[in-house]
């Protein structure tokens, strides 16, 4: 399934780009993260706890940052799994200036397996939107803090 959307931030895109790829910032911003560490060049491993309905569980995953083009775009390859199944996602993030701040366009092609797949678009889309929303709120806070 495809998850995509856009989000507006107040800060300049250079700042946003930096924050979005800072392991410490990410560890704080990703909902339910218990561990987020760099294990290689542009490669991170994390443990995340998700507490929502039938996808509840602890997930371990690997995130690779590919094709960096600061401050405009980068690509992520995400592979995570837990008891309720797993997801593999290929995501692109594009940042553009919008006059007053930065607009982020994101698009991810998600392949799920296990229970997560069986729930399909019925639940997965909603869970993803919820988690992404929490993530953006946190990043927004950080942007505001830094910009201030």
Residues that bind another protein (CB under 8 A): 83, 85-86, 111-115, 117-118, 120, 122
Q: How far is the CB of 3 from another protein (least distance, A)?
A: 15
Indicate if the alpha-carbon torsion angle 51, 84, 29, 73 is positive or negative: negative
For another protein, give the closer residue by CB, 77 or 118: 118
User: What count of residues does the chain have?
Assistant: 148
For another protein, give the closer residue by CB, 105 or 118: 118
For another protein, give the closer residue by CB, 35 or 83: 83
Q: How far is the CB of 133 from another protein (least distance, A)?
A: 24
Count of other CB atoms within 10 angstroms of residue 2: 9
Q: How far is the CB of 111 from another protein (least distance, A)?
A: 6
For another protein, give the closer residue by CB, 113 or 137: 113
At 102, list the tokens.
């930065």
For another protein, give the closer residue by CB, 111 or 129: 111
Q: At 88, phi and psi to the nearest 5?
A: -130, 125
Q: How far is the CB of 71 from another protein (least distance, A)?
A: 35
Q: How far is the CB of 95 from another protein (least distance, A)?
A: 31
């Amino acid at each position: 399934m495809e998850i995509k959307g856009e989000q507006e931030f107040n800060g300049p895109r250079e700042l946003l780009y930096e924050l979005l790829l800072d392991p410490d910032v990410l560890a704080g911003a990703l909902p339910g993260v218990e561990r987020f560490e760099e294990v290689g060049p542009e490669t991170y491993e994390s443990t995340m706890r998700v507490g929502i309905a039938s996808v509840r569980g602890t997930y371990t995953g690997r995130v690779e940052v590919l094709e960096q083009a600061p401050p405009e775009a980068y690509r992520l390859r995400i592979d995570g799994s837990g008891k309720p199944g797993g997801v593999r996602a290929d995501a692109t993030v594009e940042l553009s200036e919008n006059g007053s701040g930065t607009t982020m366009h994101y698009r991810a092609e998600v392949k799920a397996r296990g229970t997560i797949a069986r729930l399909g678009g019925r639940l997965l889309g909603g869970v993803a939107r919820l988690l992404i929303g929490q993530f953006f709120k946190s990043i927004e806070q950080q942007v505001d803090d830094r910009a201030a």
